[in-house]
């Protein structure tokens, strides 16, 4: 089987007659994956909107006037409830996304750590997409049982500045590196239909080709043009372009999972079937992809039935991490328990003394 490692070779591959390209991709796919299994993953926005970044495609950026309002962080319990629901509907992986520039070491991050522990305990693969991450934060997430970290390069290095100006391509690569160093599986891909040239699509793949270890998971998204964002006027890309991108990615990275991600509502079932044929082996299920629309669970179940596909089990591509206790959360809980015990004792003492109008002193949260 021919291997493609240079930009020129990948360009030639991308531009092959479509049916030749799909046939070659299907052949590679069958050598490394079960072609009848497709993983159903769910993507949940745990902290929506209000992001300080300027990604041109994103309705969650605070600077754009879109329908997305900034919301508070979800509670651990409500995330676990959604995870149980996703699992009951056939999802074996939950990706939790927060509209942050980067992770900060605060109470919200502690909550994410608890969410990771809780979802991993449900025997689902847990993925997070939380923006830039340093080595210590990666270690904490790994310790909590994180299976994968998503951090998309989005497009080629050359086209990146046309889409995002608030952080560098290099920053993205560093976060991916930090996930790798912590032993977390990497999920990283891109978006097509943002006005980029075919060279940029191939350029994105070249960025992964240059890594010592390419991502285990490569999501391919079609732009969902949202009103109010700088890319709102972009025309939807042709379904053939999506099929070409999936097929080229599959051939270039035979062992990675290629995920057919955002933009499926713009594709008919026939085009999605061609993507599965060409090597996509995962979809995001559920009626929302963070904030943009997605086919609902029932539509996808119907599609699986028609195409004869089965949902892939969790941890088919890697061992389940063990969730270990988190020292920071344990210390905080211990402190809270101690404070509660002190308050209880103080209240009991006052009751004995007949002073029943006691009000505890307000504690100001240290979250930033």
Distance CA 84, CA 363 (A): 33
Give the nearest distance from C-beta 73 to ligand SF4 in angstroms: 14
Q: 3-class SS at 247?
A: helix
Q: How many residues does the chain have?
A: 368
Q: Is residue 187 annotated as a catalytic residue, yes or no?
A: yes
Q: Is residue 104 annotated as a catalytic residue, yes or no?
A: no
Q: Does 60 bind ligand SF4 (CB under 6 A)?
A: yes
Is the Cα torsion angle 267, 269, 274, 276 positive or negative in sign? Answer: positive
Backbone angles phi and psi of 68, in degrees to 5: -85, 120
Which lies closer to ligand SF4 via its Cβ, residue 53 or residue 317? Answer: 53
Q: Does 58 bind ligand SF4 (CB under 6 A)?
A: yes
Given 44, 61, 127, 182, the residue binding ligand SF4 (CB under 6 A) = 61
Q: Is residue 58 annotated as a catalytic residue, yes or no?
A: yes
Q: Is residue 259 annotated as a catalytic residue, yes or no?
A: yes
Size of the site for ligand SF4 (CB under 6 A): 8
Backbone angles phi and psi of 38, in degrees to 5: -130, 130
- Catalytic one among 140, 187, 250, 275? 187
Q: Does 205 bind ligand SF4 (CB under 6 A)?
A: no
Distance CA 126, CA 200 (A): 30
User: Cα 131 to chain center, whole Å?
Assistant: 10
Q: Does 53 bind ligand SF4 (CB under 6 A)?
A: yes
Q: Does 223 bind ligand SF4 (CB under 6 A)?
A: no
Q: Is residue 127 annotated as a catalytic residue, yes or no?
A: yes
Which lies closer to ligand SF4 via its Cβ, residue 73 or residue 329? Answer: 73
Q: Is residue 275 annotated as a catalytic residue, yes or no?
A: no
Which lies closer to ligand SF4 via its Cβ, residue 196 or residue 300? Answer: 196
Q: Binders of ligand SF4 among 90-109, rule CB under 6 A?
A: 99
Distance CA 329, CA 114 (A): 8
What is the four-CA torsion angle of 54, 242, 239, 287, rounded to 10 degrees? -60
Distance CA 45, CA 99 (A): 8
Q: Binders of ligand SF4 among 117-136, rule CB under 6 A?
A: 131
The answer to whether the beta carbons of residues 51 and 60 sit under 8 Å apart is yes
Chain residues in the site for ligand SF4 (CB under 6 A) = 51, 53, 55, 58, 60-61, 99, 131
Which residues does the annotation mark as catalytic? 51, 55, 58, 95, 127, 187, 259
């Amino acid at each position: 089987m021919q291997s493609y490692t240079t930009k020129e070779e990948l360009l030639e591959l991308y531009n092959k007659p479509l049916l030749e390209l799909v046939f070659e991709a299907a052949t590679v796919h069958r050598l490394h994956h079960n072609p009848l299994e497709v993983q159903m993953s769910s993507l949940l926005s745990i902290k929506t909107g209000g992001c300080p970044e300027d990604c041109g495609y994103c309705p969650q950026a605070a600077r754009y006037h879109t329908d997305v309002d900034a919301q508070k962080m979800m509670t651990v319990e409500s995330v676990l409830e959604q995870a149980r629901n996703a699992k009951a509907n056939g999802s074996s992986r939950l990706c939790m996304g927060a509209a942050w520039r980067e992770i900060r070491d605060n109470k919200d991050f502690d909550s994410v750590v608890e969410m990771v522990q809780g979802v991993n305990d449900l025997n689902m693969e847990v993925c997070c997409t939380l923006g830039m991450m340093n080595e210590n934060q990666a270690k904490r997430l790994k310790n909590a049982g994180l299976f994968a970290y998503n951090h998309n390069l989005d497009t080629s290095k050359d086209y990146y500045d046309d889409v995002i100006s608030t952080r560098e391509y290099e920053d993205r690569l560093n976060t991916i590196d930090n996930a790798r160093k912590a032993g977390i599986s990497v999920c990283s891909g891109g978006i097509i239909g943002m006005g980029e040239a075919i060279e940029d699509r191939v350029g994105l793949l070249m960025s992964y080709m240059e890594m010592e270890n390419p991502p285990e998971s490569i999501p391919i998204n079609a732009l969902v043009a949202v009103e109010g964002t700088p890319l709102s006027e972009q025309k939807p890309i042709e379904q053939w372009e999506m099929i070409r991108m999936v097929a080229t990615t599959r051939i270039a990275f035979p062992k990675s999972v290629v995920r057919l991600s955002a933009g499926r509502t713009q594709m008919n079932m026939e085009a999605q079937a061609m993507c599965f044929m060409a090597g996509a082996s995962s979809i995001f299920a559920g009626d929302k992809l963070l904030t943009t629309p997605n086919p609902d669970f029932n539509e996808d179940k119907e599609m699986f039935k028609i195409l004869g596909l089965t949902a892939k089990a969790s941890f088919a591509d890697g061992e389940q991490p063990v969730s270990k206790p988190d020292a920071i959360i344990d210390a905080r809980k211990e402190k809270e328990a101690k404070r509660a015990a002190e308050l209880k004792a103080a209240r009991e003492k006052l009751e004995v003394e007949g002073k029943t109008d006691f009000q505890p002193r307000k504690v100001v949260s240290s979250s930033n």
